Each structure stands twice: as structure tokens, then as C-alpha cells.
Amino acid sequence: MNKFSIDCISSTVVAMTASSESTNANTNRTISVGIVGASGYTGTELLRLCAGHPNLEVVVATGESMAAERVRDLYPNLAAVYGDLRYKPYDVDDFVGLDAVFLGLPHGTSQPIVKELYGRVGVVVDLGADFRLKDASLYPKWYGAEHACPELIDEFAYGLPELFRKDIIGSKGIAVPGCYPTAGSLPLAPFVRQGLVETHGIIVDAASGVSGAGRGPKANTQFCAVDEDFAAYAILSHRHTPEMDQVLDATVLFTPHLAPMNRGILATCYARPTADLDSAAALQVMVDFYEDEPFIVIDESSPSTKATLGSNAVHMTAKVDERTGHLVAIAAIDNLTKGASGGAVQCANIALGLPETTGLSTIGLLP
């Protein structure tokens, strides 16, 4: 495997080859898939990605509020591939025996369904937060309720392949990360894991598109509220904070912002180096750490959310400010793709023994 040197980073560096023991299975087989919560934005993105996946076949899609409605009527972009597929109410009997079930549900609602499905389907891939935190005692503080099935938490691998791939291989339960922890953790992990930055007082400032708030109508996400506005929210109390602490094994000060765009997250992260580090060396640390990762794109220039639109790519850079001594690590993702449904498909590919990149693209949409 070729190593990149800092001299070759004059344009985008993409690690295009990734191997894993999960890629040895028959890649021609059809994998039966169910989606619970398919009428929301993450569920719809799952439908889109599954339609372009050579192995995944959606056989049932639920949407309680849209039951009996055609998918194509709610999302015309899917009309060509889903024909007359209709949303159904959830019924466990529709899912038992499937190869994979994706849960695109609001936080707190996956737990009873997981209790019904775990061990009765090939793999449960939860896009919500119900099985992300390994410490069950954190759920009352950050999510407002005791966990209903804490005995299953340890059965779920944390679904960020770039950092936890070995845990995902062959797993029967996967907790897909939040979109903010994906964007905030990946640019910092190379430095934290190698002891190159202090682990207390890390700062993550991140801005998300409105789709991160879900499809349901909310006063603060209506067009007139969001257009021409930019605001921080959930200051010091956002639910993704303990998730970042867990992933990085660090203490993170996280401030999310709502940006007037449909999709995308830009995370700007700050940490204090523990030794001498300049911008060239910092970028090299990032390149070396992710050199085998198929969805990581590293460049000297600042990442752009628009460049990741519709892709499973993570665009990153790193610099060190000589004046203050701070490391600045930045990442851009599509919050609905790599930050949710694309990450879920990536994890399902690994768990089911398919090539990890199957059905996923590194190419964004421009203009």
C-alpha cells in the first residue's frame, strides 16, 4: 500500500482501496431488507440508496403516519424505482427472517422494536440513538427516559467503520452514529488516538442543514424561520455530546448550529496539541491515519458541504495556528448520507459480508 507524503497533497487525496475480511462472500446474492420508519428523511435516503444497491432488495417499508400511501406520491424522486410500493403500519411478522432491517425512527422508539427483532433477523441497523451510548445510565439525563432494554446495548456495535470496523464485522446489531458525532469525531480521531492533543476541552462547532431536524413540521425549521438565518441551539445540552465523548474518549464542548441549507454538516474542531505540530505535520497525521479508507477525502483546502451532497464521502483538512497553538480540524459531510443512511448501508455491507463500498459513492453533486 502506497503511503502519501505531504508533497503529493496538491489536490484531493482519496484512499480508494479498502480491504476487509468482510468482502469474501458471494456478492451476487439478493439480500432482503425492511425499513421501519421509511417515510422520514433518513428512511427515504435509505430507499434511494437501496434502489442503487446491487444486492439490497426492499421488501417492506413502514410509515405509520403515511400508511397505505404510495412512496412515489410522498417522494416523487423515487417513482421510477418503487412504482406502487406503499407504506405499511409496523407489524413484526413482516420483518422476521429478513437479512437486514433498518430502523429510521425518532430517538426512544427503537427499543421495543429491537427487543422484538434482535436475533430474528440477520442484522438490525438502528439509525437512532437508542443503542449508541454504552453507559445506560446516561439515557435519562440526555434522552429523558430510562433505557427499556439495557441488556441489549452491548450487543450493538458502534457503526463508524473508520474507527470501529472490527466490531461491525459479523455483528447482529449496529448503532449508526449521529450525524454530528460522525462529522466531529472523524477529523479529531487521528490526533486523539495518537496522543497528539489534549483530551480535555476539545471544542466542536458544527452547522447542519435543516433536514437534520427531520421531516415533521416544526416552528423553527419552517422556511420563514430558517431562510436568511444562522443560529446556535441546544447550547451545552445537545444529546450528541456524550456520544462524542464516548467515541473520542475525551471531554468535548459541542455547539450545534442550524444553517439555511437542506443538507450537509460542517464541523470545525479545535484542540490543544501536546507537542510541536505544524500544519504540514497535522495534515500528514490525518492522511496516514486514513490512507486505506475509501470514503475519506483529505485536502489542504477547506471542505465544502456542497461537495459531499448525496455522497458517502467525508471531506477533511487540518491546520495548526502558530499564533495560538491550536489545532483546527474540519470535516464536511452530507448529514443524510454519510451522517445517517449511507453510513448505515456501509455498516450493513460490512456486517453482511459484502464489499464495504457497494452501492455507495464518493462523488457529490455540483452545482
Residue-by-residue DSSP string for 252-300? EEEEEEE-SSSS-EEEEEEE-BSS---HHHHHHHHHHHTTT-TTEEE-S
Backbone CA torsion sign across 22, 38, 117, 247: positive
CB-neighbour burial class of residue 319 (10 A; exposed 0-12, middle 13-18, buried 19+): middle
Question: Grid coordinates in use for 173?
Answer: 446489531
Which H/E stretch holds residue 123?
Answer: strand 123-126
Q: Measured between alpha carbons, how far is 306 from 314 in angstroms, rounded to an integer?
A: 12
Q: Measured between alpha carbons, how far is 100 from 4 in angstroms, rounded to an integer?
A: 37
> Known catalytic residues?
179
**359, β-bridge pairs:** none
**How far from 63 is each of 34, 46, 237, CA to CA, in Å?**
12, 13, 30
